[in-house]
Amino acid sequence: NAGVTQTPKFQVLKTGQSMTLQCAQDMNHNSMYWYRQDPGMGLRLIYYSASEGTTDKGEVPNGYNVSRLNKREFSLRLESAAPSQTSVYFCASSSRDRGRPDTQYFGPGTRLTVL
Amino acid sequence: GESVGLHLPTLSVQEGDNSIINCAYSNSASDYFIWYKQESGKGPQFIIDIRSNMDKRQGQRVTVLLNKTVKHLSLQIAATQPGDSAVYFCAENIGDSSYKLIFGSGTRLLVRP
């Protein structure tokens, strides 16, 4: 199993450009998440999808949109990139089985720079 | 989570010594806790977890201790190795219908050869 995969690994954008970050998991997990991590800081939740067909805002959703394409894939879109969105973006997934603790497993990250 | 800016707390230990990394969590209703390890340039990696009905759990070379009275979590690493050098995050799950983990700001572990 590859686990959680993310593309691209690196991206440089100009202010105002748009792009979509892709995430896929092969663990048959129900829930998927997008986080951002700024230098020297912990992870902040942008959006999450508890199950296929649902999405909800996290702590820092402004400037982002998401799509849960199917059970495997969860994409994050920046419609008009801003320098404040320069960060490392991590996708995660978890099984969210009823009655079981919910461990999230992370992808390798996308390093995004907005000039 | 709260930010601590660019400077993470750092723990420096000699190779072979034991390491103890501490974490204060925020919500008394949290019922599940996880420790993650993040190496430079990589995503967080699951190390060990513990439910709130336990106060200790052991893994391979790692032990997590939970003190619910003071809302404190610790990660003990035995015989610390150079490969243990990383940033360590604790995370808590409130245990309601929320799917969210709340992450601490992290501690950097440096292992001196």
Comparing alpha-carbon positions, the chain B residue that sits nearest to A31 is B99
In this structure, of A26-30, B6-10, B39-43, B91-95, the range with the lowest mean pLDDT score is B6-10
**Average pLDDT, integer, range A13-21:** 97
In this structure, of A19-23, A49-53, B90-94, B97-101, the range with the lowest mean pLDDT score is B97-101
Q: Decide if pLDDT at B4 tops 50.
A: no
- Which of A34, A41, A87, A95 would best serve as a mutation to test chain B binding (most B beta carbons within 10 A)? A41
Contact at CB, B101 and A40, closer than 8 angstroms: no
DSSP, res B10: E
Structure confidence at residue A70 (pLDDT):
95
The mean pLDDT of chain A is: 92
Structure confidence at residue A55 (pLDDT):
95
Could you read off the pLDDT of A70-110 as tens digits, one per residue? 999 999 999 999 999 999 999 999 987 666 667 889 999 99
Closest Cα in chain A, distance from residue B79 (Å): 26
Structure confidence at residue A103 (pLDDT):
84
CB A115 within 8 A of CB B68: no
Strand residues in A9-100 grouped as ranges (E) = 10-13, 19-25, 31-37, 43-49, 56-57, 65-68, 74-78, 87-94
Q: Which is higher by pLDDT, A100 or B113?
A: B113
Q: Which is higher by pLDDT, A66 or B27?
A: A66
Q: B51: which 2 tokens? A: 């439910």
Contact at CB, A101 and B100, closer than 8 angstroms: no
Q: Which residues of A touch B (CB under 8 A)?
A: 4, 31, 33, 38-45, 48, 50, 56, 58, 90, 94, 96, 101-109
**Average pLDDT, integer, range B23-34:** 88
Residues of A in contact with B33 (CB under 8 A): none
CA separation for the pair A115, A112 (Å, rounded): 10
Structure confidence at residue B6 (pLDDT):
47
